[in-house]
Amino acid sequence: MTSINTNNAAMAALQTLRGINQGLQKTQDHVSSGFRIGKAADNAAYWSIATTMRSDNKALSAVSDALGLGAAKVDTAYTAMDSAIDVVGEIKAKIVAATENGVDKKKVQEEIDQLQDQLVSIAQSASFSGENWVAGANGTKSVVSSFVRDGSNGVSVKMTDYVLNNGSAGNVMFGMSGGQVDTSTGILGTANGSAGSVYSLDITNMTLGDLGQALTNVENALKAMTSAGAKLGSISTRINMQDDFVNSLSDSIDSGIGRLVDANMEEESSKLSALQTQQQLAIQSLSIANSSSQNILSLFRG
């Protein structure tokens, strides 16, 4: 039965067209944004996970920056310690030379004085971002090493510590007092026996026995400095490894987020073409359904 009041075919065609248009709009959103899940309404669980992991990735990016700053501090300290080891090695050579009969110890001491001044200069210059790891009072220096989300979803920032020790067998060249280098403490400043410290060493009037004590002091200082340099080197290596890991972890998180929320562009392209064709057919069907009412007029023509 055909009615001029109710066109069931047109209503069915219109309902179909609406459904196709909704699917087409959704697919176009996926294609334009690149996301299969762009908002919570698309999939609340996946959207929540992706949002949380994106925030973690931002934190990891901050950790990577902090690791770069920490690496700069450690590298500055290591460079200073390595340079100081070379200078102390020169002092050692001067003491050995002074044990030779006939050597003018005063002239040798003049050279040692310059080397001692150079050690203070190195210690004063080894500062990065306001921190000096080779001249300082007893205390702890720290650098950010990682951002962690544990199994219970708790978050924390992990630190790598370097404990400063300004004793004769410690890990700093000199201590620090009132913001100034304290040349009476640290590996090079702490006095040891009659020969004094490496920094205060004066061989001008030393006997052969005193020179032996001075040589022992210098050798002990070299051992302590070498140990400190090795520690700084190991921290630098760890920071570099952690930086590589953080970058790899960040890439893995990005990849994981993509698996959850990114649109499959090949699939969306095929779906878009199919929906566009369905839309055209639905429009044609609606047009045919609407024209059936016009056909009723022919029944009343004379």
Nearest 5°: the CA angle 79, 81, 82 is 65
State the chain's mean pLDDT as an integer: 88
CA distances from 205 to 96, 103, 219, 247 (A): 15, 12, 21, 59
The pTM for the full model equals 0.77
What are the residue boundaries of the structural domains of the chain, listed by start? Answer: 44-261
Residue 1 confidence (pLDDT): 59
Mean pLDDT of 224-252: 91
**How far apart are the C-alpha atoms of 218 and 92, rounded to whole Å?**
6
Determine the CATH number of domain 44-261: 1.20.1330.10
- Sign of the C-alpha dihedral computed for residues 13, 15, 19 and 22 taken in this order: positive
Q: What's the pLDDT score for residue 101?
A: 85
Least confident of 85-89, 194-198, 228-232, 268-272: 268-272
Q: Tell whether the model's pLDDT for residue 152 goes beyond 70.
A: yes
What pLDDT is stored for residue 4 in this prediction? 65
Q: Residues 99-130: pLDDT tens digits?
A: 988 889 999 999 999 999 999 999 999 999 88
Can you tell me which residue has the tokens 């199994």? 151
Q: What 3-state DSSP class applies to 74?
A: helix
Distances 54 to 111, 128, 139, 251 between C-alpha atoms, Å: 60, 32, 36, 11
